[in-house]
Amino acid sequence: AQTVTQSQPEMSVQEAETVTLSCTYDTSENNYYLFWYKQPPSRQMILVIRQEAYKQQNATENRFSVNFQKAAKSFSLKISDSQLGDTAMYFCAFMKAAGNKLTFGGGTRVLVKP
Amino acid sequence: DVKVTQSSRYLVKRTGEKVFLECVQDMDHENMFWYRQDPGLGLRLIYFSYDVKMKEKGDIPEGYSVSREKKERFSLILESASTNQTSMYLCASGRGAYGNTIYFGEGSWLTVV
């Protein structure tokens, strides 16, 4: 079974600054996908970024980027130039390559302060 | 845009009541999921369905059942609601494997009193 751990329950950051969220996972799989999902106060979860384990290059989506360390089983999310709209819960999630289910971490609440 | 719609956003039910949570998706996805979200625990999978009338237990199926009679609709059933089932319930849908995006509904807040 896979487990996903997010060690930071809450983080705050000033607008325009950078914040990094940690995620570690445990799996015996060699091929898999990792995701960061965002859940704003309105509650609809949306996909922020996806990483394929067999790709060494770290994924980037605009101000969001990841640091994927496969050997260390670490998958952190960096939010650059934080905006007020980035205030949300962020969930790290794992999916086996041939699977269809997500396993989630406990979440990190991010508060962006003006 | 993909739409996953949960029919009830907020419900208050009494202990012992039978509760139905309905979910509809409009993208012809094979897979549909019910998750439960609790603070500090993240999202935990209750059940998922990979086809009409097909289902698999997730990590916390006890006290729940599901129904998928049509491809676009997936229902979560609490046969006899208990106070420890007070939670946020999230429905999701997606295509098959290989990292395809899973899309979520807005969630249903259930309070059992």
Per-residue pLDDT of A76-87, as tens digits, reads 999 999 999 999
Q: Which pLDDT belongs to residue A64?
A: 97
Please give the Cα distance from B92 to B27 (Å, whole number): 12
Who among A52, A98, A106 is closest to B40 (CB)?
A: A106
Q: Which pLDDT belongs to residue B71?
A: 96
Q: From the CA of A90, how many Å to the nearest CA of chain B?
A: 10
Q: Is the pLDDT of residue A42 over 80?
A: no
Both tokens assigned to B64 = 């729940």
Q: From the CA of A106, how many Å to the nearest CA of chain B?
A: 4
